[in-house]
């Protein structure tokens, strides 16, 4: 009988490799991650959707971008997606969903619940509605409201007064679905391919007569020319850019006539930047480490918006907790504390309040600034007091969860919301004076 003996050293190597393989397989099973996004019928992200495992165990809640994450997921797991304003939806996890491309979950609006809103004197009401049209987008300008009203056969660009009278109407291509008000106050309509500025013919006394669109330019060129510019005065324009995964933010003053520029502000989230830099140098920059440190790309970019108003600039530096006001050249005039977005935790540390949505609105008519808090789907509009850096509630939109495209003008809040008929959206408004 011939017996083959395997050397002891070789046996140990095979044993070690087999052990490592088992550890790797167990680790892979523990690290199966399902990522996805919840959207509504119009493709817009839905926040605060509860994700349940086997119908009862809460495993995730969608963020402001509609994103959710479920660790330790397995193929055939049953998930339920629930939100007070949408029909629940069930989804079975597939093998291809794990550690791969994020899945998209589309939720349908609960039409019968949208009407169960008690109407009071100060409750939101429809400002503009049409039985056969849906409002796609709108902007507020100094001379009124511009909105795109869509129906199956045609699309119209409307210019309304603040009393909701139709001043001008123009039939446009259905490819135009978005509006943009630039830093000089001009209004543009945008499609996937091109952009047109809105213009008017005028009478001899300077009154606007007929609305028209200027010759289009490509969307690519438009964003190339306009995207870097974030604010403007009579003397300079402010351009902005991000660096190092969005954890550093630069604002520059550019003088168009002299073709010169200089740094206005450099804002850095030092803690997260240093941590990310350390991980990248030590080889620890992998998807699981990023997940554990909340470093997914949607959360990279720091939020420090700047606005131009009456030839001054207002920079809300949330990273460093201060509001900075500059003159028309970019010289600092005043600095105020900014603290409403911070919240003290149970362990005594102070961190960003998760209810704050990193979203601001400016009321140019009243020179006021607003922000938004959302808790369990209930929206609260807050007015910011510049000298103190605090924010006080002025309106509870609990009857209108996740109202879209909020804007404030002359202490009137405007927003888009479904009307309940054929998934149409109408423009709503509510006065803020009494709050």
pLDDT of residue 417: 85
Q: Are 240 and 230 in contact (CB under 8 A)?
A: yes
Q: What is the mean pLDDT of residues 132-149?
A: 88
Which of the four pLDDT bands, split at 50, 70 and 90, describes residue 1? very low
Query: What's the confidence (pLDDT) of residue 114?
Result: 33
* pLDDT-based confidence at residue 17 (cuts at 50, 70, 90): low
Express each pLDDT in 297-336 by its tens digit: 444 688 999 999 999 999 999 999 999 999 999 999 999 9
Query: Over the stretch 389-427, which tens digit does the pLDDT of each residue have?
Result: 999 999 888 778 778 889 999 999 999 888 765 667 888
Banded pLDDT at 112 (limits 50, 70, 90) = very low
Separation between Cα atoms, residue 28 and residue 287, nearest integer Å: 13
278 vs 142, residue with greater confidence: 142
Q: Does the structure show a pLDDT above 80 at 54?
A: no
Q: What is the pLDDT of residues 173-196, one digit of tens each?
A: 888 989 999 888 899 999 989 999
pLDDT for 116 equals 33
Annotated domain spans of the chain? 22-108, 133-349
Is the confidence at residue 27, as pLDDT, over 50? no
At residue 118 the predicted structure's pLDDT band, cuts being 50, 70 and 90, is very low
Provide the pLDDT for residue 276.
Answer: 73
Going by pLDDT thresholds of 50, 70 and 90, the confidence category of residue 42 is confident
pLDDT score recorded for residue 398? 75
Name residues whose C-beta falls within 8 Å of residue 415's C-beta, 6 or more positions apart in sequence: 124, 397, 400, 403, 404, 405, 406, 407, 427, 428
Residue 98 has a pLDDT of 84
Residue 120 confidence (pLDDT): 37
Q: Taking all residues of the chain, what is their mean pLDDT, rounded to a whole number?
A: 81
Give the mean model confidence (pLDDT) for residues 361-383: 88
Residue 267 has pLDDT above 90, yes or no: yes
Q: Provide the pLDDT for residue 350.
A: 83
Per-position DSSP letters for 255-285, written without gaps between them: ETTTTEEEEEEEEE-HHHHHHHHHHHHHT--
Strand 50-53: give its sheet, edge to edge. Answer: 57-61, 50-53, 78-83, 86-92
What value does the mean pLDDT take over residues 97-114? 74
- Would you identify the CATH topology of the domain 22-108? Immunoglobulin-like (2.60.40)
Choice among 43-52, 104-113, 147-156, 319-328 with the minimum mean pLDDT = 104-113
Q: Do residues 234 and 328 make contact, with C-beta atoms less than 8 angstroms apart?
A: yes
Across residues 241-260, what is the average pLDDT?
87
């Amino acid at each position: 009988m011939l017996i083959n003996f395997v050397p002891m050293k070789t046996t140990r190597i095979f044993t070690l490799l087999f052990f490592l393989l088992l550890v790797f397989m167990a680790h892979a099973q523990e690290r199966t991650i399902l990522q996805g996004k919840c959207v509504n019928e119009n493709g817009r992200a839905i926040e605060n959707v509860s994700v349940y495992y086997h119908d009862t165990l809460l495993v995730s809640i969608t963020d402001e971008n509609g994103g959710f994450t479920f660790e330790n997921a397995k193929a055939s797991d049953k998930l339920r997606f629930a939100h007070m304003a949408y029909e629940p939806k069930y989804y079975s996890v597939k093998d291809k969903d794990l550690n791969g491309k994020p899945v998209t979950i589309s939720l349908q609006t609960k039409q019968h619940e949208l009407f169960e809103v008690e109407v009071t004197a100060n409750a939101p009401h429809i400002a503009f509605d049409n039985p056969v049209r849906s409002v796609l987008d709108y902007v507020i300008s100094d001379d009124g409201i511009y909105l795109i009203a869509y129906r199956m056969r045609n699309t119209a660009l409307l210019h309304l007064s603040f009393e909701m009278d139709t001043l001008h109407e123009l039939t446009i291509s259905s490819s135009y679905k978005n509006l943009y008000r630039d830093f000089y106050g001009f209004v543009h309509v945008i499609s996937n391919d091109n952009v047109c500025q809105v213009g008017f013919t005028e009478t001899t006394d300077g009154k606007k007569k007929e609305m028209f669109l200027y010759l289009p330019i490509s969307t690519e060129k438009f964003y190339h020319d306009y995207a870097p510019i974030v604010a403007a005065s009579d003397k300079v324009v402010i351009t902005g850019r991000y660096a190092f995964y969005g954890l550093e933010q630069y604002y520059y003053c550019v003088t168009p006539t002299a073709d010169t520029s200089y740094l206005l502000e450099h804002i850095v989230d030092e803690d997260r930047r240093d941590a990310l830099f350390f991980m990248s140098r030590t080889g620890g920059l992998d998807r699981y480490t990023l997940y554990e440190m909340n470093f997914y790309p949607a959360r990279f970019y720091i939020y420090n918006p700047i606005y131009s108003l009456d030839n001054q600039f207002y920079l809300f530096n949330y990273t460093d907790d201060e509001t900075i006001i500059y003159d028309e050249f970019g010289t600092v005039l005043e600095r105020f504390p900014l603290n409403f977005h911070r919240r003290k935790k149970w362990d005594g540390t102070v961190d960003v309040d998760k209810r704050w949505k990193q979203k601001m609105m400016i009321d140019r008519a009243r020179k006021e600034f607003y922000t938004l808090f959302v808790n369990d789907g209930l929206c609260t509009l807050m007015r910011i007091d510049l000298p103190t850096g605090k924010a006080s509630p002025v309106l509870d939109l609990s009857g209108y969860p996740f109202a879209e495209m909020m804007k404030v003008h002359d202490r009137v809040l405007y927003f888009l919301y479904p009307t309940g008929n054929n998934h149409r959206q109408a423009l709503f408004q509510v006065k803020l004076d009494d709050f």
